[in-house]
Amino acid sequence: MNINGLNEEERIREAIKDKTWNEQMTTDSWAVFKIMSELVDGFETLSRIGPCVSIFGSARTHQNHIFYKTAEEIAYLLTKKGFGIITGGGPGIMEAGNKGAHFAGGKSVGLNINLPFEQMPNPFIDPDKLIDFDHFFVRKVMFMKYAQGYIVLPGGFGTLDEMFEAITLIQTQKQVSFPVVLVDKNYWQGLVTWIEEKLLAGNKISQDDMQIFHLVDTAEEAVKIIEEFYNKYALKPNF
């Protein structure tokens, strides 16, 4: 795969070759400014949108798939209950989340990541709530900071990264313990069993950590967990 005109071997050689002090400082300094600009843009945009739920899932999920329809229904129901919806802004589950929010008349946020493949903003994002990122870690800050709950539908490495980011921040008390809801028990059960047999049994995590996330099968169950948590604590927007 060619990225920035370089193939994989050329990219590796470029990454490990010796650089002058001036080359390092110039590259790193500009990177810092770019990261700062993404943070500022995200903070300024998201600080005004009110309580939201972040929806994660595969970009490769087709529009006629049950997971797409479930994500759309979840977003629609949550929007009708007063939540905005934050997604990664791309196709698949992300599009479904934005679509549900859009047709429910609510706030539809897209945190788009610039990739050489598979990621283009979907058409259901509010124009003033589309933010483009070059850095995954800055984008994840926005997912975590500006949500009162996290809905995780089946996905790949990116979805797992976002899911475990939320769980880790809650476990380490760096984030308020908002609900993390995993949709489709059959899909997630193998991972949960591995966590129980390897991490929990191996004393890598505690039994309390297993309460951070919830397994559900339907849109209604997912929304109920978010709504009950919100009502129980009479939460206000976190910004």
Total number of domains constituting the chain? 1
In a domain, 43, yes or no: yes
226 within domain boundaries? yes
Please report the pLDDT score of residue 26 as a whole number: 66
pLDDT of residue 238: 38
238 part of a folded domain = no
Q: What is the pLDDT of residue 212?
A: 97
7: in domain:
no
Q: What sign does the CA torsion over 90, 50, 142, 235 have? A: negative
Helix (H, G, I), strand (E, B) or coil at 97: helix
Provide the residue range defining the domain that includes 25.
14-233
Are 183 and 216 in contact by the 8 Å Cβ rule? The answer is yes
Tens-of-pLDDT digits for all 239 residues of the chain?
455 567 777 767 666 677 776 666 667 778 888 899 999 999 999 988 888 999 999 999 999 999 999 999 999 999 999 999 999 999 999 999 999 999 999 999 999 998 766 568 999 999 999 999 999 999 999 999 999 999 999 999 999 999 999 999 999 999 989 999 999 999 999 999 999 999 999 999 999 999 999 999 999 999 999 999 888 766 544 33
Placement of tokens 């979840």 in the chain: 74
pTM for the structure as a whole: 0.86
Torsion of CA 179, 185, 188, 193, to 10 degrees: 100
Would 5 be classed as within a structural domain? Answer: no
Closest CA to 109 of 117, 118, 100: 100
Predicted pLDDT at 31 = 86
Own/partner pairs, 108-117, CB within 8 angstroms, 24+ separation: 108/84, 109/46, 109/49, 109/52, 109/84, 109/85, 110/86, 111/42, 111/86, 111/87, 111/139, 111/142, 111/143, 112/88, 113/88, 113/89, 113/139, 116/1, 116/3, 117/1
215 within some domain: yes
202: which 2 tokens? 């191996």
H-only helix segments in the chain = 8-16, 21-46, 66-80, 93-103, 136-145, 157-171, 185-194, 219-233
130 within some domain: yes
1 in a domain, yes or no?
no
The CATH number given to whatever domain includes residue 156 is: 3.40.50.450
